[in-house]
């Protein structure tokens, strides 16, 4: 395992009596693409600003490369930030923007000229030297902001929702750009976003945060497939989160129906949260019960229960075509299930819903936010 480049120890920060970060511990390894993910107000931007030096924690220490930099000024830190909404110097040309940090460090003009050229090439904006920031599109401005930061050869690049102001297509393009940049530069990226898709696409490690606490740390696959609590499950992708009772190991009861699952160690007859991803619900069309075609009905049930004894009956209440799939809402047991399916089910039709045991995630019900918090050490 590579070394800890940044180590946040027991960071606590509040603004005007509002606790934003509570005793947070987190470390970032060298050369990692780490994403701080969470809804607004979860403390992710504050965490980034503490690393950048724009906020000082009330308690705790920031260790960078073995040195305590908790109260070091931002201009003395070996990291650079790409700010929300670019924060370019509008009174300077593109070249002057990029040269800003280098001129401060009194680099030679030859060196600066080469660096500007290199950086513009890296962000695919060759020949833009003499343009002004105002004449550039949002995506181009964002690239200049990145170029301005990376010419200083920081060990860490902090990115504060850099793609937030861009439209969807451009955002996707920039995600691949960022991954490429990260690989070419070979430096650590710390990325803040509220967009779970962005986080899943780019990160090596995702830190899910909520209300000042870290909820889960892990690889994108871990976070998506094995959410540790209902918050993470809900925040990462769409989820059906329902109350259940763990009857015994590998058997859970939801709305009075028993389902086979693969989780163990939740005790017997314990209340739990059950998470089922919309794409994991299988739908089968039921013949209209009033038509009295009992035989067809029984056959449909038989087909499902061969694999898994548990199933729900429901009625399709809503269907939206999404291109690759349909997004379907099914009413069953007073709960609105979200289901993704490549097949079309007309509104009002009766369906059978089943789930593969492997796709049923069982989670303990959280007692409090603090209990939900985990530290990275626990997780690794």
Partner 1 sequence: MNKTLRKLLLGGPYMVWIAAFIIIPLFTVVYYGLTDKTGAFTVSNITAMGTPERLKALILSLILSLIATAICLIMSYPLALILTKMKTGATGFIVTIFIIPMWMNSLLRILAWQTLLERNGVINQILGALHLPKQYMINTPYAIALGMIYDFLPFMLLPIYNSLERIDPNVVNAAYDLGANRFQTFWKVIFPLSLPGVISGITMVFVPALTTFVISDFLGGSKVLLIGNVIEQQFTQVGNWNVGSGLSLVLMVFILISMAVMQHYDKDIGERTTIL
In the complex, what is the shortest distance from the CB of residue 210 to partner 1, in angstroms, rounded to a whole number? 25
In the complex, what is the shortest distance from the CB of residue 331 to partner 1, in angstroms, rounded to a whole number? 47
Nearer to partner 1, 105 or 303 (CB): 105
Pairing assessment for the beta strands 67-68 and 240-248 based on DSSP bridges:
unpaired
**How many Cβ atoms from other residues are within 10 Å of residue 147's Cβ?**
25
Please identify which residue in 4, 19, 72, 100 interacts with partner 1, judged by CB under 8 A.
100
Nearer to partner 1, 47 or 215 (CB): 47
In the complex, what is the shortest distance from the CB of residue 101 to partner 1, in angstroms, rounded to a whole number? 4
Nearer to partner 1, 90 or 331 (CB): 90
Q: Interface with partner 1 includes 121 (CB under 8 A)?
A: no
Q: Write out the binding residues for partner 1, residues 130-189 only, by CB under 8 A.
A: 132, 148-149, 152
Q: Which residues contact 75 (CB under 8 A, 6 or more apart)?
A: none
* Residues near partner 1 (CB under 8 A), total: 27
**DSSP code string of 60-119:** EEEEETTEE-TT--GGGSSEEEE-TT----TTS-HHHHHHHHHHHTT--HHHHHHHHHHH
- Tokens 């499950």 correspond to what residue? 233
Q: Interface with partner 1 includes 84 (CB under 8 A)?
A: yes
How far, in Å, CA of 99 to CA of 105, rounded?
A: 10
Nearer to partner 1, 13 or 277 (CB): 13
Please identify which residue in 4, 29, 61, 85 interacts with partner 1, judged by CB under 8 A.
85
CA dihedral 181, 185, 186, 188 (to 10 degrees): -70
**DSSP code string of 6-26:** EEEEEEEEEETTEEEEEEEEE
Q: Interface with partner 1 includes 328 (CB under 8 A)?
A: no
Q: Write out the binding residues for partner 1, residues 26-55 only, by CB under 8 A.
A: 52-54
Nearer to partner 1, 93 or 219 (CB): 93
**By the 8 A CB rule, do 169 and 4 touch?**
no
**60-68, 90-98, 293-301, 341-349 -> range binding partner 1 (CB under 8 A):** 90-98
In the complex, what is the shortest distance from the CB of residue 182 to partner 1, in angstroms, rounded to a whole number? 19
In the complex, what is the shortest distance from the CB of residue 178 to partner 1, in angstroms, rounded to a whole number? 18
**91-99, 168-176, 211-219, 292-300 -> range binding partner 1 (CB under 8 A):** 91-99
**85-93, 121-129, 187-195, 356-364 -> range binding partner 1 (CB under 8 A):** 85-93
Phi and psi angles of residue 228, each rounded to the nearest 5 degrees, phi first: -85, -20
**DSSP code string of 180-214:** HHHHHHT-EEEEEES-HHHHHHH-SEEEEEETTEE
In the complex, what is the shortest distance from the CB of residue 347 to partner 1, in angstroms, rounded to a whole number? 47
Nearer to partner 1, 86 or 259 (CB): 86
How far, in Å, CA of 144 to CA of 226, rounded?
A: 38
Q: Interface with partner 1 includes 71 (CB under 8 A)?
A: no
Q: What is the DSSP letter of 333?
A: T
Nearer to partner 1, 105 or 343 (CB): 105
**How many Cβ atoms from other residues are within 10 Å of residue 214's Cβ?**
25
How far, in Å, CA of 18 to CA of 8, rounded?
A: 20
Which residues are paired to 210 by β-bridges? 213
How far, in Å, CA of 20 to CA of 209, rounded?
A: 11
**101-109, 201-209, 262-270, 286-294 -> range binding partner 1 (CB under 8 A):** 101-109
In the complex, what is the shortest distance from the CB of residue 28 to partner 1, in angstroms, rounded to a whole number? 18
Q: Interface with partner 1 includes 96 (CB under 8 A)?
A: yes
**67-75, 223-231, 317-325, 355-363 -> range binding partner 1 (CB under 8 A):** 67-75
In the complex, what is the shortest distance from the CB of residue 175 to partner 1, in angstroms, rounded to a whole number? 22
Q: Which residues contact 214 (CB under 8 A, 6 or more apart)?
A: 24, 25, 26, 207, 208, 373, 374, 375, 376
Q: Interface with partner 1 includes 105 (CB under 8 A)?
A: yes
- Chain residues binding partner 1 by CB under 8 A are 52-54, 73-75, 80-81, 83-85, 87-93, 96, 100-101, 104-105, 132, 148-149, 152
């Amino acid at each position: 395992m590579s070394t800890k480049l940044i180590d946040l120890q027991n960071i606590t920060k509040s603004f005007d009596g509002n606790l934003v970060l509570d005793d947070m511990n987190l470390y970032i390894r060298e050369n990692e693409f780490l994403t701080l993910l969470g809804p607004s107000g979860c403390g992710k931007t504050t965490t980034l600003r503490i690393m950048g030096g724009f906020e000082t924690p009330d308690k705790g220490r920031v260790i960078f490369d073995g040195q305590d930099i908790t109260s070091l000024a931002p201009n003395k830190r070996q990291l650079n930030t790409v700010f929300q909404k670019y924060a370019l110097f509008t009174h300077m040309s593109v070249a002057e923007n990029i040269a800003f940090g280098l001129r401060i460090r009194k680099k030679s003009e030859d060196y600066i000229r080469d660096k500007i050229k290199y950086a513009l090439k890296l962000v695919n904006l060759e020949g833009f030297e003499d343009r002004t920031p105002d004449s550039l599109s949002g995506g181009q401005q964002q690239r200049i902001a990145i170029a301005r930061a990376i010419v200083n050869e920081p060990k860490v690049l902090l990115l504060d929702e850099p793609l937030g102001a861009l439209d969807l297509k451009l955002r996707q393009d920039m995600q691949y750009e960022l991954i490429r940049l990260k690989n070419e530069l070979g430096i650590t990226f710390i990325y803040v976003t509220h967009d779970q898709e962005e986080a899943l696409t780019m990160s090596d490690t995702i830190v899910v945060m909520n209300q000042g606490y870290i909820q889960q740390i892990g690889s994108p696959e871990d976070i998506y497939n094995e959410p540790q609590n209902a918050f993470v499950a809900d925040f990462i992708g769409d989820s059906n989160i329902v109350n259940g009772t763990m009857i015994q190991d590998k058997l859970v009861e939801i709305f009075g129906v028993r389902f086979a699952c693969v989780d163990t160690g939740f005790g017997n007859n314990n209340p739990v949260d059950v998470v089922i991803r919309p794409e994991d619900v299988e739908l089968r069309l039921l013949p209209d019960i009033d038509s009295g075609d009992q035989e067809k009905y029984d056959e449909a049930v038989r087909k499902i229960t061969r694999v898994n004894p548990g199933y729900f009956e429901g009625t399709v209440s809503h269907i939206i075509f999404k291109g690759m799939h349909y997004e379907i809402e099914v009413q069953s047991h007073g709960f609105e299930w979200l289901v993704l399916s490549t097949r079309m089910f007309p509104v009002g039709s009766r369906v059978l819903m089943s789930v593969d045991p492997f796709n049923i995630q069982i989670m303990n019900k959280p007692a409090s936010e603090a209990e939900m918090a985990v530290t990275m050490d626990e997780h690794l």
